[in-house]
Structure 1
Amino acid sequence: MPRPEPQHQRAHGRAELGFAQSPRGTVLRHLYHAAPLRVLFPRSEPDDLPLAALVNVGGGLAGGDSLDVAVSLAGGTSASLTTPAAEKLYRSLGDATRIATRLELAPGATLEWLPQETILFDGARLERRMEARLGAGARLLAAEMLVLGRPARGERLTQGSLFDGWRLRRGDRLHWADAVALESGLAPLAARFGFGGAEATALLLLAASDAEALAGRDLLRAAGHDATLPRPGLMLARWIGGAVMVREALCAAIPALRSGVLGLPPRLPRLWTS
């Protein structure tokens, strides 16, 4: 009789964070995490937002692994979430790595979602979905960066698959949706009218008031970045090219928006630079 295929151990991490308002300002009211995800709380600067760091203690993700993150902010609260390092996705033996994030912002809340880059090793298979729901007057500054291979080793992403989808809602209405789907082959990564052989790509999103989104677009354009307003109250900036160039552009744009639009200190999360 043929031997059954070996069953590989998989990791299914989950993190839940809930922030509420108190006389001391924004405080953590709910926390749950399951390995390999852990939530740490580095000391934030006195003039900055409360900071939480999502840590994958497994050191990376393989095919069949999954991460599920849920963040909720009560009305009037403010918080910043980041990661201490890049997330690595290893070559898959067949199954996809699944990452799901859900952000719930009550009216008047402000959230920064600023993880560091995700590095796709050759042969990785990623399915990533982001869902954000914003109440009236809520503001979201969110960044995502993908590195398509390991440029320092001369490796490019030539095998595997990629699905990266966004859904942004204002109240009960869909405000913006976007997705990259390369599930039947990665030829578009090298194609001239696809990704053009780029090493990395990044998205920076600002969902705020109409005036704030417009100010953010003008500020980034003045600094030489390609920023657009797909609809009122939503600013998008995208970069594609060399991994170092893309990260440097993202690292310049985030502090500019924090200072020029959100009224926060013009700095990156400390974990990005330490």
Structure 2
Amino acid sequence: MAAPPLPAAQRVAGRARLFCGKSEGRTRLKRLYQDGSAKIRLPAVEGDPLEAVLINTAGGMTGGDRLAWTIEVGAGASASITTQACEKVYRAAADRAETSVGLRVGPGGRIAWLPQETIVFNRAAFARTLDVDLAEDAEALVLEATLFGRLAMGERTVQGSFHDRWRVRQGGVLIHAEDFRIGPDIAATLQRPAAVGGALAVATLLLVSPQAENLLGPARAIIGDPGIGGWGGASFWSVGRSGKLLARLSAGDGYQLRKRLVPLVELLNGRAGLPKLWSL
């Protein structure tokens, strides 16, 4: 007699939405929705920007898990979004884990999307989509950093699948689009000089702001500091009445990446600096 089929594994399903707006001279929470493993907490801060911390209570993701985050910033408001910890993507037995992020910023508003690193473990399968919709005079700082394994724990990502898709619009016009896809032989691809030359930690930062051009020189000084190590570069383009600065970093591990990533975020985020959780 054949053994009965195993029950289907439980999968993560989380969605959360936050809307904030300007009221009585500062940014305040207007609406908050949470479902499943997706939670949002708001640390007490004095003045702007409003800080929000995203939490996946499942403690990580694997094949078949789904997370969706939507952040809306009203006219003249300002928000800084981060995560409680690094998101971990574990080995997938079937299917892939997926995260979708939607950011909307009204006229004169600003958002800083600054999650901590995503750690991709061996044989993980993960896809992330990031859609940003900015008003014509809105500003945004967007970061995604990824670690393919943890050298300190003796872990390397050899096989797997990773796909990162960005679409950024300002005033309804597409101003930035990219698709980064790697796999199934992740380790071999990372070794290629045309990729990252063996680096295991990578990060992309995009600043959309009228001040972006003025920050290009200081950003390149941080990225290219030979005493810090790693590789990277930064470029600037005029976009309508604004501009965009795109920076990329790579390093041998997460510690080396953060040595340049932290001062770069502090520079590009202006007076708001780093989210409090980054310094804990």
TM over 0.5: yes
Give the C-alpha shift of residue 230 in structure 1. Answer: 4.4
Identify if the C-alpha distance between structure 1 residues 108 and 121 changes in structure 2 by more than 3 Å, giving closer, same or farther: same
Among candidates 249, 260, 279, match of residue 249 of structure 1: 260
Task: Work out the CA distance in 2 between the residues paired with 1:195 and 1:94.
Answer: 28
1:235 aligns with 2:245: yes
Give the C-alpha shift of residue 66 in structure 1. Answer: 0.9
Identify if the C-alpha distance between structure 1 residues 51 and 32 changes in structure 2 by more than 3 Å, giving closer, same or farther: same
Task: Work out the CA distance in 2 between the residues paired with 1:129 and 1:86.
Answer: 17
- Partner of 1:271 in structure 2? 277
Identify if the C-alpha distance between structure 1 residues 193 and 221 changes in structure 2 by more than 3 Å, giving closer, same or farther: closer
- Partner of 2:22 in structure 1? 21
Q: CA deviation digits over 1:41-99, x for unaligned, max 9?
A: 1112x254111100111111111111101111111111111112111111111211100
- Partner of 2:112 in structure 1? 112
- Aligned partner letter, 1:268: L
- Partner of 2:39 in structure 1? 38
Asked whether the 8 Å contact 2:27–2:47 carries over to 1, the reply is: no
- The structure 1 segments of at least 4 consecutive aligned residues displaced by more than 3 Å after TM superposition are 1-6, 222-225
Task: Work out the CA distance in 1 between the residues paired with 2:151 and 2:73.
Answer: 37
Identify if the C-alpha distance between structure 1 residues 93 and 224 changes in structure 2 by more than 3 Å, giving closer, same or farther: closer
Asked whether the 8 Å contact 2:223–2:260 carries over to 1, the reply is: no
Task: Work out the CA distance in 2 between the residues paired with 1:98 and 1:224.
Answer: 30
Give the C-alpha shift of residue 177 in structure 1. Answer: 0.2
Give the C-alpha shift of residue 195 in structure 1. Answer: 2.7
Q: CA deviation digits over 1:130-153, x for unaligned, max 9?
A: 000110110001111000012112
Give the % identical residues.
Answer: 36
Q: CA deviation digits over 1:180-229, x for unaligned, max 9?
A: 112444231232332322110001110112xx110121221233442111
Q: CA deviation digits over 1:216-269, x for unaligned, max 9?
A: 21221233442111454110111012221112211011111233xxxx15x311
Asked whether the 8 Å contact 1:92–1:125 carries over to 2, the reply is: yes
Give the C-alpha shift of residue 35 in structure 1. Answer: 2.2
Residue segments in structure 1 that go unaligned for 5+ positions in a row? none
Q: Secondary structure at the match of 2:220?
A: helix
Task: Work out the CA distance in 2 between the residues paired with 1:21 and 1:185.
Answer: 48
Task: Work out the CA distance in 2 between the residues paired with 1:73 and 1:57.
Answer: 24
- Partner of 2:91 in structure 1? 91
Asked whether the 8 Å contact 2:212–2:244 carries over to 1, the reply is: yes
TM-score of the two chains, using structure 2 as the length reference: 0.90
Asked whether the 8 Å contact 1:204–1:250 carries over to 2, the reply is: no
Q: Secondary structure at the match of 1:98?
A: strand
Residue segments in structure 2 that go unaligned for 5+ positions in a row? 225-232
Report the more deviating stretch, 104-113 or 241-250: 241-250
- Partner of 1:9 in structure 2? 10
Report the more deviating stretch, 222-231 or 8-17: 222-231
- Partner of 1:147 in structure 2? 147
Identify if the C-alpha distance between structure 1 residues 154 and 192 changes in structure 2 by more than 3 Å, giving closer, same or farther: farther
Q: Secondary structure at the match of 2:267?
A: helix
TM-score of the two chains, using structure 1 as the length reference: 0.91
Task: Work out the CA distance in 1 between the residues paired with 2:132 and 2:179.
Answer: 14
